[in-house]
Copies of this chain bind each other. A is one copy, B any other.
Amino acid sequence: MKSPLIQSLIEAFRVLPGVGPKSAQRMAYHILERNKKGGTTLSSVLSEAIEKVGHCSQCRTLTEEATCGICVSERRLKTELCIVETPSDVSVIEQSGIFRGKYFVLMGHLSPIDGVGPEALGLDQLALRLASEPIEELILATNPTVEGEATAHYILQMAKQHGIKASRLAQGIPMGGELEYLDSGTLSQAFLARNTLES
């Protein structure tokens, strides 16, 4: 008995991550009852972004320009290159403000089962950059998952071939974390990598 157009809108919202039938219905009614203006903006920005956003020619991140803001910036170190899996990872590292170099975004990780090989991750393009740019250190910031570790291992071999130093983000107890709620893998890692205190 529900209007077919409203039903289609509810189904359309389900493409968003973390949105189930209840949330999708709530979103549809919220927009139609209370925020048509915001919904119109969402619709137009969404279609514009889908049309215009592509990949940065240098680092492969998502951007509507040919080359992204970080890659064209003169103020970023050319000697450090941080390898991440996704544009969201760039975003979270930028928010921390800890890193002043440039990025290379794999847009995924090695996963032979899903047919994702080195070419799909742009590793040939990375090899060209390693050969031509004054990169001194590769920071392998892929996720600490099986696939992320395998991807890091593969890129480590590439770094070795080009005589470039490679590093991996430290693993251990997160800040503000409580031992009680920590998984045993992280805890083991924190024990193995423990630091001697100066007295």
Contacts and interface: CB of A to CB of B under 8 A. Distances in A.
A125 interface: no
B15 A69 contact: no
Interface in A11-40: 12-13, 15-18, 23, 25-33, 35-36, 38-40
Interface in A44-76: 44-50, 52-53, 62-65, 68-70, 73
A43 interface: yes
Interface stretch (A86-94, A139-147, A155-163): A86-94
Say whether chain A's binding surface is mostly helix, strand, loop, or mixed. helix
A70 B8 CA distance: 18
A116 to B, nearest CB: 13
A9 interface: yes
Contacts of A41: 12, 15
Q: Which of A1, A43, A46, A49 has the most CB of B within 10 A?
A: A46
A194 interface: no
Given A3-B62, A47-B40, A30 B9 contact: no
A6 interface: yes
9 contacts: A3-B64, A8-B49, A15-B38, A25-B91, A29-B62, A31-B50, A32-B50, A33-B107, A44-B47
Interface of A: 1-6, 8-9, 12-13, 15-18, 23, 25-33, 35-36, 38-50, 52-53, 62-65, 68-70, 73, 86-88, 91, 94, 107
